[in-house]
């Protein structure tokens, strides 16, 4: 029997609550399927670790997870530590060196969940946003000089490379091609940003010629926010830069009902390094420790993890269980207007996995 080694990195805040729930559900799923198992290694990296050791993860941290089959991540973000330290010290310290350049974020309105968009259901809203996850605005290039003086200067330089844009465009076109509508929107801002974003557009047009069966269009990011709200049915697959997709995918999550539901995969498509799966939400300081975090975003991320491992049948089984649970308002956590706790939703999901005779 195949055993998958998974590195669980809960991080901070509700990350610890939802990852524990995700591990429970994955264990139950493996037991139900019977054809594979998981060996989880847990890493206590994050803000509390930082307070003790002055770093978010140990120096050899990446080496210790380098050969795992996948990473299940919670959230980086601690109330006592500046966000740029927690983010760069943990999440980006894994994503960037492991070259997880394709960040994939599906958005659907799950059964039983109401979108803030009137009359929109899973039929009208079924998107996948592909985020360039290795360069662009979050390349980490820049600096700060003359601190505290009136002439203090600071820069964050957005870097796009031809190779980096080509690989994300090819990934996005291929993904669009694999979906029934074969429809891709390339998000840009090449009217105002006349260097890197123009390269982005040119490369998109070039890669598009490799995929003649994919219909594609180009949209400025500001106009894209309007289109997401006013004409959601016109969208299928979307590709955008690191910053643009970061913002658009939070909007997408809200339009699908709650940030607590949305999943994401940080993929190294060449599989030279492990890929990382996580809910898109953060540490949620306002609700941490209350036991009411919605674990569905982590469960859906676990579905993506299973797909990545090639366990398509198990992934589909877990997704069906999630949808049976969201369909029932009694299993809605407060972010969805309900009263359920993390533990209750987790138990309901495990019961749905066990009860299914498919």
Which of 108, 297, 304, 309 lies at the binding interface for ligand NAD (CB under 6 A)?
Answer: 297
Compute the C-alpha angle 287/54/132, nearest 5°.
65
Contact partner, 246, from Mn ion, ligand NAD, none, Cβ < 5-8 Å per class: Mn ion
Q: Which does 60 bind (CB under 5 to 8 A by kind): Mn ion, ligand NAD, none?
A: none
What's the Cα-to-Cα distance from 160 to each of 100, 130, 198, rounded to whole Å?
A: 16, 16, 10
Report what 259 binds from ligand NAD, Mn ion, none; CB cut-off 5-8 Å by kind. ligand NAD
Residue numbers 210-249 binding Mn ion by CB under 5 A: 246
Q: Please choose, out of 23-31, 142-150, 182-190, 284-292, the segment that lies near ligand NAD by the rule CB under 6 A.
A: 284-292
What mask of x and - would describe binding to ligand NAD in positions 324 to 343, judged by CB under 6 A? ---------x-x--------
Would you count residue 91 as binding ligand NAD (CB under 6 A)? yes
The answer to the question of residue 77 lying near ligand NAD (CB under 6 A) is: yes
**Which CB, 135 or 246, lies closer to Mn ion?**
246
| Closer by beta carbon to ligand NAD, 268 or else 298 | 298
Query: Of 253-282, which residues contact ligand NAD (CB under 6 A)?
Result: 259-260, 278, 281-282
Tokens of 9: 């990195």
Structure letter (DSSP) for residue 71: E
H or E segment and range at residue 264: strand 263-267
Cβ neighbors of 113 (< 8 A, separation 6 or more) are 256, 257, 258, 261, 326, 332, 336
Would you count residue 132 as binding Mn ion (CB under 5 A)?
A: no
Listed residue (333, 308, 303, 309) closest to 321, CA to CA: 303
CB atoms closer than 10 angstroms to residue 106 = 18
User: Are 19 and 7 in contact, with CB atoms under 8 Å apart?
Assistant: no
Residue whose beta carbon is closest to Mn ion: 246
Query: Which of 93, 219 has the CB closer to ligand NAD?
Result: 93
Contact call for residue 294 and ligand NAD (CB under 6 A): yes
How open is the CA angle 33-35-36, to the nearest 5 degrees? Answer: 100
What's the chain's Rg over C-alpha atoms? 20
Paired tokens of 76: 């980086």
- Token pair recorded at residue 168: 């994300």
Residue 257 Cβ vs ligand NAD, minimum distance, rounded to whole Å = 11
- Give the interface with Mn ion as residue ranges (CB under 5 A): 246
- Give the interface with ligand NAD as residue ranges (CB under 6 A): 14, 18, 75-77, 83, 86-87, 91, 259-260, 278, 281-287, 293-294, 297, 333, 335
């Amino acid at each position: 029997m195949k055993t998958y080694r998974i590195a669980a990195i809960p991080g901070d805040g509700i990350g610890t609550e939802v990852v524990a729930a995700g591990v429970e559900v994955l264990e139950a799923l493996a037991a139900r399927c019977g054809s594979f198992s998981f060996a989880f290694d847990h890493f206590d990296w994050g803000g509390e670790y930082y307070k003790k050791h002055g770093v978010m993860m140990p120096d050899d941290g990446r080496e210790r997870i380098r050969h795992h089959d996948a990473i299940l991540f919670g959230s980086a973000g601690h109330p006592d530590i500046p966000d740029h330290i927690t983010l760069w010290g943990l999440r980006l310290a894994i994503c960037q060196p492991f070259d997880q350049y394709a960040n994939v974020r599906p958005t659907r309105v799950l059964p039983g969940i109401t979108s803030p968009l009137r009359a929109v259901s899973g039929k009208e809203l079924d998107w996948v946003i592909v985020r360039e996850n290795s360069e662009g605005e979050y390349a980490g290039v820049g600096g700060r000089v003359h601190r505290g003086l009136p002439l203090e200067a600071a820069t964050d330089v957005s870097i796009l490379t031809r190779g980096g844009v080509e690989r994300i465009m090819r990934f996005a076109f291929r993904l669009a091609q694999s979906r029934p509508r074969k429809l891709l929107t390339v998000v840009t801002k090449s009217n105002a940003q006349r260097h890197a974003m123009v390269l982005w557009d040119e490369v998109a047009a070039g890669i598009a010629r490799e995929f003649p069966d994919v219909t594609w269009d180009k949209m400025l990011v500001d106009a894209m926010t309007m289109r997401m709200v006013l004409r959601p049915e016109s969208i299928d697959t979307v590709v955008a830069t690191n910053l643009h997709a970061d913002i658009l995918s939070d909007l997408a999550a809200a339009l699908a009902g709650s940030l607590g539901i949305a999943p994401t995969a940080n993929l190294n498509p060449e599989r030279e390094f492990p890929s990382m799966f996580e809910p898109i939400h953060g540490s949620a300081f306002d609700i941490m420790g209350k036991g009411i975090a919605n674990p569905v975003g982590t469960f859906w991320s676990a579905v993506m993890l299973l797909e990545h491992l090639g366990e398509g049948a198990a992934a589909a089984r877990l997704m069906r269980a999630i949808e049976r649970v969201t369909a029932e308002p009694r299993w809605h956590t407060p972010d969805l207007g309900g009263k359920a706790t993390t533990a209750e939703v987790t138990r309901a999901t495990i019961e749905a996995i066990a009860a299914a005779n498919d």
